[in-house]
Amino acid sequence: MNNGPESFNVAVVGGGIVGLHVALGLLKRNIPTTVFERTAQFREIGAGLGFPKVAVDCMRALDPRIADAFDRIAASSTGSLRWADGYTQEDIRLRGRPHDYEVTAGGPDSFPGCHRAQLLDGLVALAPPEALKLNKELDNIEDRGPDEKLLLQFRDGTTAEADVVIGCDGIKSRVRRVVVGDAPAAYPQYSHQVSYRALLDMGQAVAAVGDIVRGQLMYLGPGAHINTYPVAGHTMVNVVAFVHDPDERGGPVGGGVSVAKGDVFETFAGWGPVVRALIALLPDRVDSWAIYDTHDHPLSTYAHGRIALAGDAAHGASPHHGAGASMGVEDALCLATALAEAAGSLRDAPPASSKREAVAAAIRAYDAVRRERTQWVVRSSRVAVDMFQQSGAEGGRDGFQTELSERSHRIWDFDWQGMVRETVDAFHKEQ
């Protein structure tokens, strides 16, 4: 660990999947890092999670152990995303090919999925215990001047000091509130979508619905859609239904509300036989989540002096591209690269170069590299759900397939190595 006079330390606020990726990447580069998590244990909201190959490549570049941990729990994929008309009364299971649209990601296993909690457990196991602090809910961050560390103040009355703070505390980010104040961008915005989520036993699902549940398939229809895909080594099926909500105000941010299965079934009563069979398998009570994002009031910058925002704290997107977590992993690699450059510059620089200037330049470089791409994903996710719930683009079937392919490949075909090079160049320009 680099603890010389010119070294710096980092506080990561938020111990979710993105925060732990950031911390592990920094620790791998010998940058002292501590994670402050507000809850009593590390936990993730939601069930299934998919990563394109580019995100797994970024994991490996952050720390090969991360990719190894992911590989151990990942369920293989067909290498494509598939959509079907869920509203048709035809039994699509009787077709030779049940899906109407397909976008290929690049080959087998190019979009593996996992269970969120399993991934989080694997990440926690990789971090040194002394780097993880629980029950630390952030209240404020005080900048005490150019020659002092930032002071983190927690709700329990304790404090911590750090040269750099990275807010990875999700869509309800307290760090975002601290740096933005009471501006509209400080708060998440309702996307007018409600989700219903459940995990089904694969054996029971196959027995009731058929082999169609063994692979990913999204069912499209008016005002709603359902996505299904295997997780937990193909032992379970993740089912997520999304329904448009015209109300101006949504339910609680980041919190689930238990609803009766009958409420969900009523929404999909007129849908096709496969969708009705899936809904019938749901448990008697289903978790309902209002979906929030940062679409209406995007941040003008992710860099605030020595404070950075990453993941959903910076660019919370609705989940309709399945890209939120992978964007956070890319953020982590960019931040690790920029801060490693800052650490190197301090070791090699003349005495006039200060830690404050170096780390601020690293954070500005991160913002310059990441903001355009991540905010495009936020916007594109809103476009995607409109397409899903109108059963196609204005150009009909061909238009739907073409547009979804272009949008998906913009996410999947990202040049992460180019991002690393761009980050290094941006840091040296910012100095």
- Give residues with Cβ within 8 angstroms of 1, minimum separation 6: 30, 32
Pairing of strands 257-260, 285-293: antiparallel
Eight-state DSSP code of residue 75:
B
Strand runs labelled E in 30-137 = 33-36, 48-50, 80-85, 101-104, 113-115, 132-133
Residue 46 in tokens:
């939601």
The tokens of 71 are what?
A: 């590989």
Beta-carbon contacts of residue 255 (< 8 Å; ≥ 6 apart)? 289
Which residue do the tokens 């990275």 mark?
166
CA 295 to chain centre: 15
Nearest one of 46, 50, 49 to 79, comparing CA atoms: 50
Cβ atoms of residues 74 and 66 within 8 Å: no
Burial of 227: CB neighbours in 10 Å, binned 0-12, 13-18, 19+: buried
Neighbours of 420 (CB within 10 A): 18
- Show which residues are catalytic: 197
- Written as six digits, the tokens of 103 are 């976008």
Residues 6+ away with beta carbon under 8 Å from 216: 77, 78, 81, 82, 111, 113, 227, 228, 229, 230
Q: Is 40 exposed, middle or buried (0-12, 13-18, 19+ CB in 10 A)?
A: exposed
Half-sphere exposure of 130 toward its Cβ, with a 13 Å CA cutoff? 2
The residue type of 233 is: G
Residues 6+ apart with CB under 8 A from 425: none
